[in-house]
Structure 1
């Protein structure tokens, strides 16, 4: 494995279903040792996670990292808010977008990039129910087309 090898830990499928992802960016995350060990074992759930600003800093909330089994007293609260590491100008730009345009920040995936844990954060706008139905209809139509092409190539 190279220095910049990427190993995906968790992917937030629910985010792409509930939101239009306008843009995504990579951020570091502040973790403790037992949390990183738990991530290496695959103990992460991003389903209900979201990002919020507190005192000019960006935090990920509702991201569940399972307690490390051999961690004993060093384990932290699995649902605690975790600080995201971004440059100040990026934080200012995101803060402006969230406050003025009503954009939501949602973690899309968490992965190892070399020895470091990174979070892909998406700038998202919420989908209405009819948008979700349109997406499902397009996906079903594409699946039918792919199936028909596959059947046709077999003949």
Structure 2
């Protein structure tokens, strides 16, 4: 059986980039049980309430919802259990130092399979204020309107 190549996205936390300024991203492995992997292969997961913390020199992922595997038996997993993240010691030490600053948190951004292994992309994030969110929406809207105007002008030139 050939291994998968590339990146197969399972779940993405789209609202995270709206609610937080993402300062840095890290790719982590996950310690999972068999039924969790089977459930992920069916493309079922939610990162919405998830966050990561570093406790006793180990990184942990909390509140990520991986539903129970439908064909699982008594070996099935709890849907919102804490899961260990696999990071290099130097990355954990760097994150520990940065998390000492106030207002910084670790947020899961994406959950995917890479070469057959489950990975999660976590972001070192600082929460946005309400006016930051409004400003980002306004900038996106202005950019969209400018692009529309430019494409309309190009269409008029072609005629």
Say yes or no: TM over 0.5.
yes
Which is helix-richer, 1 or 2?
A: 1
What's 1:34 paired with? 35
Deviation at 1:154, TM superposition (A): 3.7
Which range is displaced more, 52-61 or 105-114? 52-61
Q: Partners in 1 of 2:19 and 2:100 — Cα distance?
A: 20
Q: Structure 1: 5+ residue runs without aligned partners?
A: none
SS class of match (1:16): helix
Aligned residue runs from structure 1 range 99-110, under 5 A: 99-110=100-111
TM-score (norm 2): 0.91
Q: Partners in 2 of 1:141 and 1:123 — Cα distance?
A: 28
- Alignment deviations for residues 45-76 of structure 1 (CA, whole Å, 9 cap, x no partner): 01111111222211111100011110121211
- Alignment deviations for residues 56-108 of structure 1 (CA, whole Å, 9 cap, x no partner): 21111110001111012121110001110011121111011101354211111
Larger Rg: 2
The count of corresponding residues between Structure 1 and Structure 2 is: 155
Q: CA RMSD in A?
A: 1.6
Q: Partners in 1 of 2:74 and 2:151 — Cα distance?
A: 55
Q: Structure 2: 5+ residue runs without aligned partners?
A: none
